[in-house]
Every structure is written in C-alpha cells, then in structure tokens.
Amino acid sequence: MKKKFLSVLLAGVLAVTSLTACGGAADTGAGDAGAAATTDAGATEEAAAPAADVASEGEHELSVYAWDENFNIPALKAAEAAYKTVDPDFTLNIVTQSQSSDVEQAITLAASSGDYSTLPDIVLFQDHYIQKFVADYPDAWQDLDDAGIDWSNLGAEKISYSTIGGKHYGAPVDNGTAIFAYRTDVLEQAGYTIDDVTGISWDEWLKIAKDVKEKTGYAMLSSDHSGEDLPYMLLQAEGVSQWKDNTTPDLVGNEAFKRVIEVIVQGANDGTIILANSWGDYTDQTIVGDQVAGVMNGNWIIPTIEQVAENSGKWAITTMPTLDGGKEGYAANGGSSLYITANCSKHELAADFLAYTFGGGDGAIATYDAALKDGGVITTCISAGKSDVYAEGVDYFNGQAIYADIVEMGSHVPVVQQSDFHYNLRTIVGTMITNVQNGADIDDEIASAQEQIEFEIAGSQN
C-alpha cells in the first residue's frame, strides 16, 4: 500500500511539472527553453520583472529568487523545513519569478549599475548559463568553497557547470540525467525485451527500431526538432563535446559528431525517429498521443509519459545506446543550481543552509524525499538517492525503482566541454539535420554550421 500511495502521489504532483521541470522558463513549455529569451549579454529583451522585497533582515532569514511554483518552489520549501530542525528560527523568503530569464536580468541589471543591494541572498540559476555570468560579472557572486560540502557526493557532471576557475559556486537542485524509457509491451509485440535495447550500438538500435515500426506501427523515438537536444545527448554519452573550449566549436573533423547526425537522419528517414515541429507536438502528439514506443530526454520528461493512464505498468527505463555499443550510455539534459550573491551579508548562514540540504549534508534526505513527493524534483546527491523513498518501486514503470536508478545513472554521466553558446549551436544543428535529411551533403552542412556559429560568436564579442 505504501508503494502504491507514493506512486499515485508522485503521478499527481509530477503531471503539472512536466513542461518546466528541467530548470527552464515556466511560460515556455520546454525544459530549458527559457534561454531562448536571453540575449548574448544575458539580459532579456523584455522589461525587467517587477521589483520585489528581497531584504532578509533577521539573523536567521535568507531570501532567494526562483521560478516554477510546481517544481523548484516545493524543493526550496522542503529545504527550509529540513533546516528548521537545526535552526528553528530559520526563515527562507522565497520570491517567485515568472521564468529563469527574470533571474538572469536581475543579475545583469545589478552588475551594470554596480548596485548589488537589489539582489536576494541566493538565486536559482540555469546550469548552462552560469559560467558566462560568473565570467561577465565576477563580483556578483560568493563561492561555496568554505561550506564543507563533499563535492564527490554530488555527481561530477552536475557540478562541472558551477565549478569555475577552480572554485565551487553552486549547490545543485535538480537532476537532469537522461533516461531512455521504453514501452515494454510494444517491444514484446515485436519480439524484444528491455535487455535487447540496453548496452547496444546505435546501428543495432536502428535495426530493432525499424523492425518494431514494421511490426507494430510505433516509431521508437521522437524529439522536439525546434530545440534539438538529441545531438548533444548522443555525443555526451560518448564523452565527446561539440566544443573545444567555451568559444571554439568542434564540428568539422569531429567524427563522433558526424556519426551522431547520421544516426538521427537515418532514423528520421526510416520513420523510426519522429522530428516534431514544436515542443507541443513532441509532448502532446508523439508521447501523449501514443505514437512512440520510446522516449529519451532528461528525466523531467517522466510526467509527460505518465499522462497516459492506460499505459501504467507498461514502461521501463534504461540507459542510452552508444555509437559502437558494448556499454551503457549516460547523458544529461537541463538543470539548475543555487548561488549566493554579492548582496548576502550572512554568507555563513547561506553556505550552511545549502550544505545541509541540497549539498548532501544531514538534511539532504529529508529535503529530497519531500522535494520528490511534493514537486517531482530528483536529487543529484548520491547519498540522498539511497533513501527508502527513492528505493520504492513506481507502479507506472511496473514497480521499477526508477528514482534510485536515475540517481545512480547520474553518477556516471561524462563531463564534457560546455559553452555559453550552447543554445545558439543547438538551433544551427537542428537546421543542419533538416538539410541533410532533405539530401544536402553532410560534410558541407557541418562546415556551414561551424562557419555560422563562429560568425555568431564573433558578432557577440564586437
């Protein structure tokens, strides 16, 4: 009964978080699509969000900017409750923002004016953007090196975003580890099991996918082609990046990149990979609309899968294929962390709060157990992922303890080179895939994509 109660509870909570769960804008749908509204300098093109009272006057009070009342805010409330067990007078003043770009703009405006008093003590910030903001506004932040956090307990890939110049700046909140979920009943109709699609090569996967399509009518995978994340995830599973450094793309001559594009194009041409025209088409038509037997994305996609009640018990998750096979592939997509701003005069309190809760301290299990049940937030903290709550089976996934599995998978995600121009390149590569699918020469398209991103980077630096 306990297992079933947790499964039902999570299904209800997670159903309203699926569009915003990976740390992006609450008003866009796609997990990290909030970045699309952000300029090269980090400031949004829209007007600033209304000013809010960010003061934290009491010696036991901290203020924080965060977005998404169904996901990030419950996690912060869970952390507040956990910290109250060691500091009963503690209060966390949560100032809810409408989207992630509101936080980015608050930092930009404060830094531009040289007045950090407009900032709260702590901000939630997207992982893919923090390195640029620390580089551009180094005086806006306070590091966490003195917080006493065991960084090895948090997953190397996750903290690689917030480790800048040898210093740790952020405490991770949500786990963006990618899952590959399959309809086991559809696989069975075609004569396969979940083991048959685990640890295989993409070439083997394409053969199975074609067979499944012919026998059942289901495509094996889909993606939001308007914000194409498949190339990034497939490459990360190989331990390879599209970048040599922050501003130097690595497309031409990158054999793994070329092979990844070929996999996606072949799947699209075979009808085994659906390249959806929009985020809504991806979620509503291909996943909820029951067109695919597989879903691969950051684990925040789980609530979308669970919207189809009649498919409960028919899903299982596993790892990704790799280019050459013989091993399980691991990647991540999306996420955010918490950072202490220059305006925080209670650095010791802020650092201790973050270390005790999200940083894997004694309050991490209480924080993340509640965050999972109340907001669907999955921890990146390895020790917190071993709790009884995480170990419980989930009915929708046929009793598989998917949350413990996801935390374990996250500990194996390779660290690859990131770039502040991640989203710029994502758009360019999506267009390149379409061109190749329509018959363009792949080598010419890769060269053109590299030229285009180099042009955009040069323009941003003038």
Radius of gyration of the chain (CA): 22
- Could you list the beta-strand ranges (E) of 225-361: 243-245, 248-249, 273-276, 294-298, 315-318, 336-341
- Within this chain, do residues 302 and 345 fall inside the same structural domain, yes or no? no
Q: How many CB atoms lie within 10 A of CB 278?
A: 15
Is 409 part of any domain? Answer: no
Residues in the chain: 462
pLDDT of residue 398: 97
- Domain residue limits at 339: 13-176+334-392
Q: Which residue has tokens 């005069």?
A: 345
One domain for residues 92 and 186: no
- SS3 assignment, position 376: coil
231 and 340 both lie in a single domain: no
CA distances from 25 to 119, 313, 346, 398 (A): 20, 31, 29, 32
Same domain, 205 and 229: yes
314 and 455, same domain (yes or no)? yes
As given in the structure block, the two tokens for residue 49 are: 């969000």
> Are 183 and 129 part of one and the same domain?
no
**DSSP of 41-93:** TS-BSSPPPPP------STTEEEEEEE-TTTHHHHHHHHHHHHHTT-TT-EEE
67 & 84 share domain = yes
According to the model, what pLDDT value does residue 129 have?
86
Distance CA 363, CA 326 (A): 39
> Collapsing DSSP states into helix, strand and coil, what is residue 322?
strand
pLDDT reported for residue 444: 98
Has residue 134 been placed in a domain?
A: yes
Verify that 266 and 338 share a domain, yes or no: no
Q: State the alpha helices, DSSP H only, in 191-323.
A: 202-216, 230-236, 255-270, 279-280, 302-305
Cβ pair 195, 201 in contact under 8 A: no
In a domain, 311, yes or no: yes
Residue 429 lies in a domain: yes
> CB-based contacts of 64: which residues, under 8 Å, 6+ apart?
76, 92, 93, 94, 95, 120, 121, 122, 123, 124, 338
SS3 415: coil
Structure tokens at 14: 């997670």
Q: Which amino acid is at 80?
A: E
Examine the domain organization and report whether 149 and 241 are in the same domain: no
Residue 36 domain-assigned (yes or no)? yes
Nearest Cα neighbor of 334 from 28, 27, 32, 14 is 32
Backbone angles phi, psi at 200, to 5 degrees: -100, 170
pLDDT string in tens for the chain (462-residue length)? 334 334 444 444 444 444 444 433 333 333 443 333 333 333 333 334 434 457 677 899 999 999 999 899 999 999 999 999 999 999 999 999 998 999 999 999 999 999 999 999 999 999 988 988 999 999 999 999 999 999 999 989 999 999 999 999 999 999 999 999 999 999 999 999 999 999 999 999 999 999 999 999 999 999 999 999 999 999 999 999 999 999 999 999 999 999 999 999 999 999 999 999 999 999 999 999 999 999 999 998 998 999 999 999 999 999 999 999 999 999 999 889 999 999 999 999 999 999 999 999 999 999 999 999 998 899 999 999 999 999 999 999 999 999 999 999 999 999 999 998 998 999 999 999 999 999 999 999 999 999 999 999 998 877
Residue 336: strand, helix, or coil: strand
- What's the CATH number where 378 sits? 3.40.190.10
Kindly state whether residue 398 falls inside one of the protein's structural domains: no
Residue 369 forms part of a structural domain: yes
Question: Smallest Cα–Cα separation from 305: which of 184, 424, 213, 391?
Answer: 184
pLDDT reported for residue 53: 54
**Are 26 and 169 contained in the same domain?**
yes
Same domain, 193 and 132: no
**Contact between residue 193 and residue 184 where contact means Cβ atoms under 8 Å apart:** yes
pLDDT value at position 420?
Answer: 85
Look-up: residue for tokens 């495509």?
Answer: 219
Q: Count of domains in the chain?
A: 2
- Model pLDDT, residue 199: 97
Residues 233 and 292 in one domain: yes
Domain for residue 410, yes or no? no
